[in-house]
Structure 1
């Protein structure tokens, strides 16, 4: 990916003006319903529709189905591949049938998170305080990379007293909110960017065994032959890149201002036209 400095471009410029012959074409994007991926996918959808004129369908699925749908060609692409470790197994399984366009966001991290008032700092300390946490680690959807990593953490740190609770990003944050309101101990699967770190005082537990790995980045993956079928969409997806603060802003508007994902995406695009121009240069 190469973001080239450019002068501002109008959304109705010659290169990007919606064309009548695309009215029957549809771009199909797939994502997992994590707050981070909802934010990025809706921004990408809005940008494609505004600048390229394609109708764009987005489909929320499980992590496994997300990768499989790209590999089979049922979906055009996704901007939700956590690399190099979180989705490593999925990538290795399907890399012969997908194209990796590289990072669209860098500086992502993951691990176990607790409220600041919980007086421990390392995963190694969880065993001693299993009762305070009711023997639960609150997770998200089964099959997601962070859940697989957390299963490895349970084994690697001998946390036999803990159960990893499956659910969704939404149920995890609701459980976290309730615990914080009651000043109870809780440990959840965490990743950054995520709006929960802006809303509450949370901290990651140290991972001395480095099971979660170091910094992650989020990559864009597309199906085979997208470049030939929709070259303008391919170029945009190849150029799409933003900062963690951008993603967090979109998520924050949804959570704190009550905007829908569509409204938050449109607001971000309107307030960041220079960045959007770069994507379509």
Structure 2
């Protein structure tokens, strides 16, 4: 699992759709004008649901409140990050609730065409990095400095890493500069994709239980961080602009205040729904609670959202239009 500012810039649109089998969003009459399909003319709100569970938690709670407190119908569409920006501009969807930073799309749709507008902070700060298990870092403290990773490449080899140390990745859909970082820092590593957040979590849990050495692309907030102890590997310090050219990145990922974005017509004419989504703001702790209910407690997204909303009525009340 783009910046923020740690730019969640996509590897390619092809990797997005092919890697996850995501549904491309076809244009319609609203596509040319940027007019939202639901803004001002419908009681149906359409939200994009990204493939990672933290973002799913946002959508679940927002949808529950929209439907049960404000009497809207909510549709969700799972799609890749860049595809979601295109759909938002066209009005095929009304809002993105967790964006990790897409400067090219912001320039195109926010600054130039003005079909997308800011929806405010989500209230959660995200961070991407490289992590190793604490038990391994305790045994080899120097492994937490990237300069020493080549020393441990043999211990990180897998059948999929082609003789190099494996850097475990999640979905090809997620923003990552890791291939460039590996090349530009001359590291004896290879990125290997689990295919999804769930598959990556399974591999982390299996390795952790067996106390195997491993190196993984990972992020916060994430509910799994409360169950496994991971230590971040120190990469060269992030400085503004060091990730401007994706091919030349040789620095750490920044801390990124996660953002919401709305279709411009929906923001203007979407009434209470648009006002609510602008007001929607919670903490990483809240997000992790809902995400854990979905993944570990095996509740449906709706059940998890209902449970959280009923336990946090004061917070929800603050989101509702006055």
Q: If the length of structure 2 is used for normalisation, what is the TM-score?
A: 0.74
Q: CA deviation at 1:124?
A: 2.9
1: CA distance, partners of 2:313 / 2:41: 24
Name the counterpart of 2:129: 111
State the secondary structure of the residue aligned to 1:126.
Answer: helix
CA contact (8 A) 1:76 1:226 kept: yes
* In structure 1, distance between residues paired with 2:300 and 2:263: 29
Contact 1:31 1:66 in 2 (8 A): no
Aligned counterpart for 1:127 among listed residues 141, 145, 150: 150
> How far apart are the structure 2 equivalents of 1:127 and 1:93?
40
Q: Is the 8 A contact 1:32 1:38 kept in 2?
A: yes
CA contact (8 A) 1:130 1:162 kept: no
Cα distance between partner residues in 1 of 2:299 and 2:235: 35
- Give the match for residue 256 of structure 1: 296
Q: Give the length in aligned residue pairs.
A: 255
How far off its partner does 1:24 sit? 5.9
1:79 to partner: Cα distance: 0.5
| Residues 27 and 57 in structure 1, CA contact (< 8 A), matched pair in contact too | yes
* Equivalent-residue separation in structure 1 for 2:277 and 2:312 (angstroms): 17
- Aligned partner of 2:263 in structure 1 is 223
- Compute the displacement of 1:61 (Å): 1.2
Q: 1:187 to 1:94 in 2, by over 3 A?
A: farther
Report the TM-score when normalising by structure 1.
0.84
**Per-residue deviation, residues 13-53 of structure 1 (Å, max 9, x unmatched):** xxxxxxxxx99631000021112101111111111111111
Deviates more, 1:90-99 or 1:269-278: 90-99
CA separation of 1:216/1:223 partners in 2, compared to 1, >3 Å: closer, same or farther?
Answer: same
Deviating 4+ runs (over 6 angstroms): none
The 1-side partners of 2:253 and 2:189 are apart by 23
- Offset, 1:170: 0.9
Distance 1:166 1:105 in 2: 29
Give the drift of 1:278: 0.6
Contact 2:130 2:217 in 1 (8 A): yes
Does residue 199 of structure 1 match 2:246? Answer: no
Counterpart in 1 of 2:107? 92
> Gaps (5+ residues) in structure 2?
1-39, 138-142, 158-164, 239-250
Q: Are the structure 2 counterparts of residues 212 and 93 from structure 1 closer, same or farther at C-alpha, using a change threshold of 3 Å?
A: farther
Let me know the Cα RMSD of the aligned residues: 2.0
Return the alpha-carbon distance in structure 2 between the equivalents of residues 23 and 209 of structure 1: 49
Aligned 8 A contact 1:195 1:255 in 2 = no
> Matched residues in 1 for 2:123 and 2:229: separation?
24
The match for 1:49 is: 67
| Structure 1 position 88, deviation (Å) | 3.1
